[in-house]
Amino acid sequence: MLDLQDILKTFNPGTANEVRALRGVTLTLERGSFLIIIGTNGSGKSTLLNAVAGTFRVDSGSITLAGQDITGQPEHRRARLIGRVFQNPFSGTAPNMSIAENLALAARRGQPRGLGWALDHKLRAQIRDRIRSLNMGLEDRIDNAIGTLSGGQRQALTLLMASWLKPDLLLLDEHTAALDPKSADQVIRLTHEIIQRDQLTTLMVTHSMQQAVHLGDRIIMMHRGQVLHDLRGAERARVRQEDLLNRFDAVRRREQLDSGVADLLQSHYV
Amino acid sequence: MTLLIGAATIGLVLALLALGVYLSFRIFNFPDITADGSITLGAAVASILLVHHWSPVVATLAGFMSGVVAGTLTGVLHTKFKINGLLSGILVMTALYSVNLHVMGKSNIPLLNESTLANQAESLATRLLGGGKSEFLLAGWTVGVRDAALLIGVLLVVIAVGLTLYLFFRTNLGTAMRAAGDNPQMVCALGVSVDFIIILGLALSNGLIALSGALLAQYQGFADVQMGIGIVVWGLASVIIGEALVGTKKIGVLITGAVMGSVLFRLLVAIALRWGLNPNDLKLITAAFVFAALVTPAALRKLRLASKPAAT
Ligand SMILES: Nc1ncnc2c1ncn2[C@@H]1O[C@H](COP(=O)(O)OP(=O)(O)OP(=O)(O)O)[C@@H](O)[C@H]1O
Ligand SMILES: [Mg+2]
């Protein structure tokens, strides 16, 4: 379904701020699989999702999604295949437009937009139905500006928007990190429901080990722009929160060792 | 009375400018200076066609189209060549000054003897009223037939344009355009090319502004290469007054507000001039007014926050 071959991405190449954010990521995802991505800060998780979404062009490597080579396509062209929820609840919705208008925009994701009415009775009824299923009491407020809602409500709506037309790939980048625990739980439950119901192929970044072990059918751990661990099948089924934390510790110890060695070398030779 | 009707008519003509400025400045938050050049371009193109005896309707539409081209250019400079928005507008505006002189062939084209929309409206009104009267009585006031005909004619045009714009903003494309100004990241993630939408929006905006210029030239009976200087600030003033008048974020109301703002602004200017305001000071005062209107809301908010006890 999704096939990444040896993706490289360096930000600000040749300058003092050079960051090699992705250093050869190869990853294949079957249709319907739900991949959880964990990793330390700055390990390249968001960059990987952005590379797939097309926020920037990768330096080398190829990206194939649903049988199409999308490596060179701009972000808005890839959008017909990809639904997306950002970390920041403000990123996924247009605050000054109504709930209904936002969903109407999502209902045409990736399709040509002409001079037909954005909202008709049928669509409004559909929107009200789907919003009712969120159980947030928003179904009577679909003409209110989305900017008046809480972060959790906005994130739930963004999820609804991203999945309105079943995307070939759903990208979730720490989409509950900015929420209070209660809203986060609610959004995670909704995420689970939608992915289950529509059998969506999903990439989800999270910092929560609890989410990592309870959701999804495969876990990768990234480190320094590479995939360090890839847990699937029986190994994935056995894994517990402690195991993941141990792996983080191991990475951290190795880092310290590395910097210790560097100091040693420096004191000896410089 | 004639003075007030005249001011209201110019206000309505410039309401199209206000709608254009509203589109670029409020929907996209794009400070588009192209307006100064495109209003003159619209006037120039329409006038030169009128001088060559083209139909006034065709000449006016050609004026509109010339603005569409100018706006497209600014949009392409900004999105494809990544030039800062303000600078893109300045470049196109500056270039248009020469273009306008070329189009007109000289710096001023009189239209008094041409068949213009204004003259057509006048003769239609005279025929409707029956007889060759040039004035009539309305609620005790003598009103010039030409003045009344122009006011009503322009009002109809503005209503038609405003309504079209309102309906456009409720289509798929128009909704995407509003959203692109509100949250470009989201619109892109939903499959809309933000670059394309910005170009389209600026084209439409400058089309309206040029249409305003084409009508203005026909109303005042001449096109002048200097007529656009500083006009964007006037449009801005109208939009701001309009927003203050209506005070909501509903798109239909805001469109109406921009029109009302433009008319009110013109009436205020007419009255101030009548009271002896030096016309040379007009632009200074307008600029000062726009400045005040732009900073007051933020200043008020700050004051309110400062006066509130610290949140616990
Ligand atoms: N647009 C950019 N320009 C320059 N550097 C960038 C850009 N985006 C990311 N980086 C850098 O690339 C590296 C990887 O960043 P990324 O955001 O992918 O990390 P992450 O794994 O998502 O981290 P976090 O857990 O903090 O979200 C970081 O060093 C970051 O500073
Ligand atoms: Mg991140």
Distance from CA of A163 to the nearest CA of B (A): 11
pLDDT reported for residue B54: 95
pLDDT bin (cut points 50, 70, 90) of residue A84 is very high
- What would the pLDDT profile of A11-23 be if each residue is shown by its tens digit? 999 998 999 999 9
Q: Which residue of B has its CA nearest to A79?
A: B191
The tokens describing B186, both together, are 């989201």
Instruction: Tell me the mean pLDDT in the region A188-212.
Output: 95
- Residue A81: inside a domain, yes or no? yes
- Residue B161: inside a domain, yes or no? yes
Looking at chain A from residue 78 to 117, which residues have their Cβ under 8 Å from any Cβ of chain B?
Answer: 79-80, 82, 84, 86, 90-97, 101-102, 104-106, 108-111, 113-117
- Which of helix, strand or coil describes residue B130? coil
Alpha-carbon distance of B18 to B260, in angstroms, equals 10
Range of the domain at B159: 2-227
Q: What's the CATH code of the domain at A156?
A: 3.40.50.300
Averaged pLDDT score across all residues of chain A = 92
pLDDT reported for residue B311: 45
Question: What letter represents residue A130's amino acid?
Answer: R
The DSSP code for A100 is: H
**Other residues' Cβ atoms within 10 Å of the Cβ of residue B213:** 36
- Residue A152: inside a domain, yes or no? yes
- Residue B311: inside a domain, yes or no? no
Alpha-carbon distance of A84 to B167, in angstroms, equals 30
Distance B266 CA to ligand 1 centre (A): 53
Residues A30, A92 contacting (CB under 8 angstroms) = no
Alpha-carbon distance of B47 to B210, in angstroms, equals 12
- Residue B41: inside a domain, yes or no? yes
- Residue A254: inside a domain, yes or no? no
Chain B residues inside the 8 Å CB shell of A94: 178-179, 182-183, 186-187
Angle between helices B117-129 and B194-220 (to 10 degrees): 60
Residues A146, A127 contacting (CB under 8 angstroms) = no
- Residue A267: inside a domain, yes or no? no
pLDDT reported for residue A269: 67
Element at B266 (helix H, strand E): helix B251-274
pLDDT reported for residue A262: 67
- Residue B250: inside a domain, yes or no? no
The DSSP code for A39 is: E
Phi, psi of A57 (to 5 degrees): -85, 140
Q: Which residue of B has its CA nearest to A99?
A: B179
Alpha-carbon distance of B202 to B35, in angstroms, equals 10
pLDDT reported for residue B291: 84
pLDDT reported for residue A113: 94
Low-confidence ranges of chain B (pLDDT < 50): 311-312
User: What percentage of residues in chain B have a pLDDT greater than 90?
Assistant: 66
- Residue A248: inside a domain, yes or no? no
Residues A225, A44 contacting (CB under 8 angstroms) = yes
- Which of helix, strand or coil describes residue B223? strand
Element at B214 (helix H, strand E): helix B194-220
Angle between helices B194-220 and B56-79 (to 10 degrees): 150
Model pTM score: 0.90
pLDDT bin (cut points 50, 70, 90) of residue A256 is confident
- Residue A190: inside a domain, yes or no? yes
Q: Which ligand is nearest to the CA of A45?
A: 1
- Residue B183: inside a domain, yes or no? yes
pLDDT reported for residue A121: 94
Domains in chain A, number: 1
Handedness of CA B110, B112, B113, B119 (dihedral sign): positive
Domains in chain B, number: 1
Euclidean distance between the first and the last CA atom of chain B, given in angstroms as a whole number: 59
Distance from CA of B171 to the nearest CA of A (A): 4
Quick one: chain B helix, strand, coil %, rounded to 5?
75, 5, 20
Longest Cα–Cα distance of chain B, Å, equals 77
pLDDT reported for residue B312: 43
Residues A107, A60 contacting (CB under 8 angstroms) = no
- Residue B15: inside a domain, yes or no? yes
- Which of helix, strand or coil describes residue A172? strand
Longest Cα–Cα distance of chain A, Å, equals 76
Helices (H) and strands (E) in chain A, counts: 9, 10
pLDDT reported for residue B132: 66
Range of the domain at A161: 2-234
Distances (CA, A) of A252 to A44, A58, A208, B245, B310: 16, 28, 17, 61, 41
